[in-house]
Amino acid sequence: MLLGCIGDDFTGSSDLANTLTREGMRTVQYTGVPAGSADPSVQAGVIALKSRTAPVGQAVEQSLAALAWLREQGCRQFLFKVCSTFDSTPEGNIGPVAEALAEALGAERVVVCPAFPGTGRSVYQGHLFVDDALLNESGMQDHPLTPMKDADLRRWLARQTRGSVGHVAAIDVLAGSAAIGAALQREQDAGHRLIIVDALRDEDLRAIGAACADVRLLTGGSGIALGLPANLLGDAPATNVARRWHGESGRCVVLCGSCSNATRGQLEAHRRDHPAFAIDPVRVLNGEQTPGELVSRLLGADGIPVAYSSGDPDEVRRIQREHGREATAAALDGFFAETARRLVEGGVRRLITAGGETSGAVVEGLALHTLEIGPEIAPGVPALRGGPELVLALKSGNFGGEDFFATAAARLDRHA
């Protein structure tokens, strides 16, 4: 294995695996730390964790365990994959995990760049933009778990870490890989270990990758991986996963737990032509709404039915205040996991999920230990094979166009 990756959620991990696969690396996504060794043919391993909103100490512990396994596989370089909107709180978990990984590896500088131009995420003068809006004006300031109140990544990361945070500005990035390398050395010499790097275009990310051939650890979105395979593969043959991929026939169901603006728009569009069933968190907490009841309705519906708990962010926060954030999250995770298990037992062969926490609950509930990466459905969202008769799409809340659910269902179909 050449490249070892640690993802802080499941949708982000599949996003990264999608990028690496498109760049020609034989990539496998693992659910948690594997028990045994990797297949020798795997060039990039992505360990998906549910650590984004875990307590800081737990997130660090899980990430270090993942790092230890990846080092055992012989990886030359490591990437800590976080959300392209840098989802975190003032306490973590991005900064503490990145620092812990750097110390374990003896990495003196860590490139930090969440930019993903294909989905409108760019970093300029150390500030993260979503399309033309600063991060804290993009809707992410209302996220119920990780409200992003500051677009200045240097300032936000400094609140999470012990050391100071450096910055490589766009003027150096636009000058190419040699200038980026010199700027990284300048920031390291100034005493900065974690270094935010600007990026506006895919070309910038490739130049950053070229400058990071000897950088032991990188942290960022999937875009930062664009330039890494060229350094690592050398003359090794590139893979072509699209030629081997095939979908599955049979029932398709959507499970939606994201309350992002993008997902709520996708849900509204899908409901015009397909059955939709609401999941009421309060009724779930009280035991009044059960997975068995919901599965019966989903399996009896026509089209591509969707079950959703994608409420207004203010309503989500109200429920969390009244019932407790952790209790609410645990109840919904368990509900989605059991629903997914019963759906697959009932013959569903194509399963689409929206939201990082929901996707993690579903994958863990189905006990899917490895996911084979298929072709891209939308930027950042690949088709995935979870077993001999099961294919999935795990969508981050903010990704995909308005018709994503129907598009994904068609792409996952065996006859696509």
Alpha carbons 324 and 335: distance in angstroms, whole number: 16
* Look-up of token digits 């999941």: 279
Residue-level pLDDT at 314: 76
Give the pair of three-digit tokens for residue 268.
């509204």
Contact 44, 3 (CB under 8 A): yes
Give the alpha-carbon dihedral of 53, 56, 61, 65, to 10 degrees: 40
Per-residue pLDDT of the chain (416 residues; tens, 9 = 90+): 999 999 999 999 999 999 999 999 999 999 999 999 999 999 999 999 999 999 999 999 999 999 999 999 999 999 999 999 999 999 999 999 999 999 999 999 999 999 999 899 999 999 999 999 999 999 899 888 899 999 999 999 999 999 999 999 999 999 999 999 999 999 999 999 999 999 999 999 999 999 999 999 999 999 999 999 999 997 665 665 545 789 999 999 999 998 888 899 999 999 999 999 999 999 999 999 999 999 999 999 999 999 999 767 777 778 888 888 788 889 999 999 999 999 999 999 999 999 988 999 999 999 999 999 999 999 999 999 999 999 999 998 889 999 999 999 999 999 87
**Fold of the domain built from segment(s) 242-411:** Molybdenum Cofactor Biosythetic Enzyme; Chain A (3.40.980)
Q: How far is CA 143 from CA 161, 340, 377, 393, in A?
A: 22, 25, 25, 22
- For the chain, the residue count is 416
Give the pair of three-digit tokens for residue 96.
């503490």
Alpha carbons 352 and 359: distance in angstroms, whole number: 9
DSSP class of residue 133? E
Q: How far is CA 349 from CA 3, 359, 392, in A?
A: 31, 16, 8
Per-residue exposure over 356-389, b if at least 16 CB sit within 10 Å of its own CB, e if not: bbbbbbbbbbbebebbbbbbbbbbbbbbbbbbee
- DSSP-assigned beta bridge partners for residue 348: 251
CATH H-level superfamily of 3-233 = Putative sugar-binding, N-terminal domain (3.40.50.10840)
0.95 surpassed by pTM: no
Residue-level pLDDT at 9: 93
Domains 3-233 and 242-411 share a fold: no
321's CB contacts (< 8 A; 6+ apart) are none
Region for residue 138 given its phi and psi (left: phi exceeds 0; alpha: psi -120 to 50; beta: otherwise) = alpha
The residue extents of the domains of the chain are 3-233, 242-411
Residue-level pLDDT at 93: 96
Q: 54 φ, ψ to 5°? A: -75, 160
